[in-house]
Amino acid sequence: MIPLWWFLALAAAMFCLGIYGVLSRRNAIGILMGIELMLNAVILNLVAFWRYLNPSVVSGQVFAIIVLAVAASEAAVGLALIISVYRRRGTVVAEEIDLLKW
Amino acid sequence: MTLLQVFFLVTAAVMLVGSWLVVTSRRLVHAGLWLILVMAGVAAMLVILEASFLAVVEVLVYIGAISILIIFAVMLTRRVMDDSGPQSTPMWWVAGLVSLLLLGGLLAVFARMPSLLVSSAELPADQATLLSDLGRSLVDANRFVLPFELASILLLAAMVGAIFIARPEAGVEGGEDK
């Protein structure tokens, strides 16, 4: 069978690619895509730990479901904010949304 | 090397290439489509891990809802960055350095933990029992009913908030046409 650390290494690589996307993208929607990648990596991690370390307790799967709900609400609110900002200021570039910056 | 391991490696390679394209591709619509591929890979991984319910939920919620939402948002805000100009910040190399350092640190930690070498654990019962236990634990007052209800309230609040924020201003027809 597959060793646990294979899954962990895959999830870690996905998480780091997500961080790279969050930090380097200029488009706010691209930043959100990076966040989705990171949340997917977290789900993979949680389920892998559940399966290999304690498969008789369902808490790993429950936490993965909670992460899913958080991801869904985060995507909805984040995209609504981006569309609202786009309407008012005509831009989705993160560095041009600088009203609160000084 | 068993067939399952070969399948894992191929899927993992596809997922990593897909993730790389999600964070680097110039056209955001393409990035969204690559994101769908990565999510399908995660669903396949959940199937390998025998979390059948979560695999289906991953397909439904992530591929079915979130990625479509993202692609919609990309299309609604398309004209601004329309694939011209640089798509990444001038400091992208710092971002790459940070993420590479984090990856190196994580892998170093994994290498030092012998407990991560476990390669199998028996599922206690058949899948149906496990699934019904998962369902019961979400509404059991002694287990996870509180996080479950909190998640539903969070989803409701996020939905109301999203509608309120994205609503066009009163009296403005077709608000997004500037």
pLDDT in tens, B23-45: 888 888 888 899 999 999 999 99
Contact list in B for residue A80 (CB cut-off 8 A) is: 161-163, 165-166
Q: Could you report the per-residue pLDDT of A36-95, keeping only the tens digit for each?
A: 999 999 999 999 888 888 777 788 888 888 888 888 899 889 888 888 888 887 777 877
Q: Which phi and psi (to 5°) does residue A99 adopt?
A: -60, -35
Among residues A41, A13, A76, the alpha carbon closest in space to that of B61 is found at: A76
Q: Could you report the per-residue pLDDT of B12-22, keeping only the tens digit for each?
A: 999 999 999 98
Asked if the Cβ–Cβ distance from B38 to A26 is below 8 Å, we say no
Q: Tell me, what's the pLDDT at A102?
A: 67
Both tokens assigned to B146: 């509180």
Cross-chain CB nearest to A32 (options B45, B70, B103): B70
Percent of chain B residues past pLDDT 70, beyond the cut: 84
Residue A25 has pLDDT above 50, yes or no: yes
Asked if the Cβ–Cβ distance from A18 to B19 is below 8 Å, we say yes
Nearby residues of B19 by Cβ (< 8 Å), 6 or more positions away:
A13, A14, A17, A18, A37, B34, B38
Q: Which phi and psi (to 5°) does residue B138 adopt?
A: -75, -20
Contact list in A for residue B168 (CB cut-off 8 A) is: 87
Q: B120: burial class by Cβ within 10 Å (0-12, 13-18, 19+)?
A: exposed
More confident residue, B80 or B87: B87
Asked if the Cβ–Cβ distance from B54 to A65 is below 8 Å, we say yes
